[in-house]
């Protein structure tokens, strides 16, 4: 089994909760692909390129992390890159049904593909990109929610 895993998501924008999961995955596996993807049920605020750039800067110190993006199915991409595990953060019970559904669908599409859930740390339990977007766009302080090195760019976009 390949020791490369993938952390997929919308990352609209990256939060400290995402960074926590990526960092922990990077400590557990040889290589982590962070995939910035289209979630067809969401209308993004940040472009794919902006989200990738923010993630690149936020993960700058993590040598085994690569930021990628692609169109199409995650299960197919994993097949093409020989990746056999998805790593996702699980915050609260409310995440479970949605994440479980995706894990089952991905396994149906690609039986080699496992989904590994990391429990969110207590600071990130109630943190989400949508909360960051709402607070930031209304002039609130998001410095406890996003990586410091990308804070100003996120604020500028949300207030712009």
Nearer to ligand PNS, 63 or 94 (CB): 94
68 is a site residue for ligand PNS (CB under 6 A) = no
Q: Which of 73, 90, 118, 135 binds ligand PNS (CB under 6 A)?
A: 73
Stretch that binds ligand PNS, among 2-10, 47-55, 117-125, 149-157 (CB under 6 A): 2-10
User: What's the token pair of residue 157?
Assistant: 């976009």
- C-alpha distances in Å from residue 146, one per residue of 48, 56, 85, 123: 18, 14, 26, 12
Q: Which of 62, 68, 102, 118 binds ligand PNS (CB under 6 A)?
A: 102
Closest separation in Å from C-beta 104 to ligand PNS: 8
Let me know if 129 is a catalytic residue: yes
Let me know if 31 is a catalytic residue: no
37 is a site residue for ligand PNS (CB under 6 A) = yes
Report how far residue 83's alpha carbon sits from residue 78's, in angstroms, rounded to the nearest whole number.
Answer: 5
Name the active-site residue from 51, 91, 124, 133: 91
Report how far residue 46's alpha carbon sits from residue 44's, in angstroms, rounded to the nearest whole number.
Answer: 6
- Which residues lie below 8 Å from residue 21, measured CB to CB, with a gap of 6+? 7, 87, 88, 89, 118, 120
Question: Which strands make up the sheet holding 65-68, listed edge to edge?
Answer: 65-68, 31-36, 4-9, 85-90, 114-119
17 is a site residue for ligand PNS (CB under 6 A) = no
Report how far residue 58's alpha carbon sits from residue 43's, in angstroms, rounded to the nearest whole number.
Answer: 23
Nearer to ligand PNS, 105 or 159 (CB): 105
Let me know if 24 is a catalytic residue: no
136 is a site residue for ligand PNS (CB under 6 A) = no
Let me know if 42 is a catalytic residue: yes
Would you say 26 and 55 are in contact if contact means Cβ atoms under 8 Å apart?
Answer: no
* Active site residue ranges: 18, 42, 91, 129
């Amino acid at each position: 089994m390949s020791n490369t895993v993938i952390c997929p998501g919308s990352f609209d924008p990256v939060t400290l909760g995402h960074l926590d999961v990526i960092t922990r995955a990077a400590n557990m596996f040889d290589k982590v692909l962070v995939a910035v993807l289209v979630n067809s049920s969401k209308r993004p605020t940040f472009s794919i390129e902006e989200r990738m750039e923010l993630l690149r800067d936020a993960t700058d110190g993590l040598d085994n992390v690569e930021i990628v993006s692609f169109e199409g199915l995650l299960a197919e991409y994993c097949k093409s890159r020989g990746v056999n595990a998805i790593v996702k953060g699980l915050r609260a019970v409310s995440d479970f049904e949605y994440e479980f559904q995706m894990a089952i669908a991905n396994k149906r599409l690609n039986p080699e593909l496992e989904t590994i859930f990391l429990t969110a740390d207590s600071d990130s339990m109630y943190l989400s990109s949508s909360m960051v977007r709402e607070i930031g766009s209304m002039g609130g302080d998001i410095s406890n929610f996003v990586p410091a090195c990308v804070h100003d760019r996120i604020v500028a976009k949300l207030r712009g």
